[in-house]
Amino acid sequence: MTTYESSLISNRTMGWRMGLRNMLLKENFAWWRTRRWWIQILVAVLILNGSLALNLRDPMGAPVDAQAINYLNTSALFVPILIVILAQDAILGERHSGTTAWVLSKPLQRPAFILSKLIAYGLGFLVTWVLIPNIIFYIQLVAAGREGLSIPGFIGLIGLSFLNLLFYMTLALMLATLFDSRTPGLGISLLIAWAGPLQIFAKPFEKYTPWLEDILPWKLISGFGEPPLAGYLALGAKLPTVVPIIATVLWCVVFIGVAIWRTGREEF
């Protein structure tokens, strides 16, 4: 075979990274060299910044700070839905279409398959659903006359928005490896996503399991009637607690760990 191989250099990466680079190239291609990126940006800006712009133009509308809280709540309510649908599809769509079995028949490690989704989708969502809408959000607030916003604090707000998004993305990736249908993953993710911002769900949780708000990402960009942690950061104020931040990071790690473990056991 060696004479037949010409001067091509064989890929010798072994272990969990085997195939990761190639899968990442492919996932990034799907994000940035198809229509996906600008559609995501368009939807994100229309939903988040569009609604804020309409509210800010209303002369009888609420004060700017209340509008900012509304923006964050809208983000907490709607972003998880889209993130969960897209992230689930990254796993389930491929499994159902047969492309997962195809790529796994090549020199690709299963952890690398999951990590490529995590990294590429994480980057894609960061740019389309966090960075661009939040930069516009900042500009909108400044344009509306809100003073005293700290730029480092606003970067912190972006960080917490991304962490919140990462929680739902990793949760969706994990659930997609555990269930063969989209319904359970969507149901569980949305229950968690909406239980915080929506008072109808939040009240019983506050009453019977008040500790849940400390270990779930509910306080990151929305709050139980209180300013979200992202709000404190945006104003350059001291955070009342960092427990939800640490807990959310840990959840993300656990979700990815479970997704990798489950994919390792999957049969195609």
Binds other proteins (CB under 8 A): choice among 102, 187, 191, 210: 102
With binding defined as CB under 8 A, does residue 183 bind other proteins? no
With binding defined as CB under 8 A, does residue 11 bind other proteins? yes
> What is the C-alpha separation between 185 and 171, in angstroms, rounded?
8
> What is the C-alpha separation between 213 and 162, in angstroms, rounded?
18
With binding defined as CB under 8 A, does residue 95 bind other proteins? no
With binding defined as CB under 8 A, does residue 181 bind other proteins? no
Q: How far is CA 80 from CA 70, 154, 165, 178, in A?
A: 16, 21, 7, 19
- Spatial neighbors of 66 by CB under 8 A, at least 6 apart, are none
Residue 157 CB, nearest distance to other proteins (Å)?
Answer: 34
With binding defined as CB under 8 A, does residue 151 bind other proteins? no
Residue 118 CB, nearest distance to other proteins (Å)?
Answer: 18
Angle between helices 64-97 and 110-125 (to 10 degrees): 150
Q: How far is CA 124 from CA 5, 29, 133, 251, in A?
A: 36, 11, 13, 21
Of the pair 20, 221, the CB lying nearest other proteins is at 20
- Is 48 exposed, middle or buried, given 0-12, 13-18 or 19+ CB atoms closer than 10 A? buried
Of the pair 101, 246, the CB lying nearest other proteins is at 101
Of the pair 104, 136, the CB lying nearest other proteins is at 104
> What is the C-alpha separation between 47 and 82, in angstroms, rounded?
11
Residues within window 23-42 making contact with other proteins, judged by CB under 8 A: 25-26, 29-30, 34
With binding defined as CB under 8 A, does residue 242 bind other proteins? no
With binding defined as CB under 8 A, does residue 267 bind other proteins? yes
What is the separation of C-alpha 138 from the centre of its chain, rounded to a whole number of angstroms? 20
With binding defined as CB under 8 A, does residue 7 bind other proteins? yes
Tell me which DSSP letter residue 128 carries.
I
Residue 111 CB, nearest distance to other proteins (Å)?
Answer: 12
Residue 103 CB, nearest distance to other proteins (Å)?
Answer: 8
Q: Residue 3: how many CB atoms within 10 A of its CB?
A: 5
With binding defined as CB under 8 A, does residue 93 bind other proteins? no
Q: Which residues form the interface with other proteins (CB under 8 A)?
A: 1, 4-11, 14, 18-19, 21-22, 25-26, 29-30, 34, 97-99, 101-109, 267-268
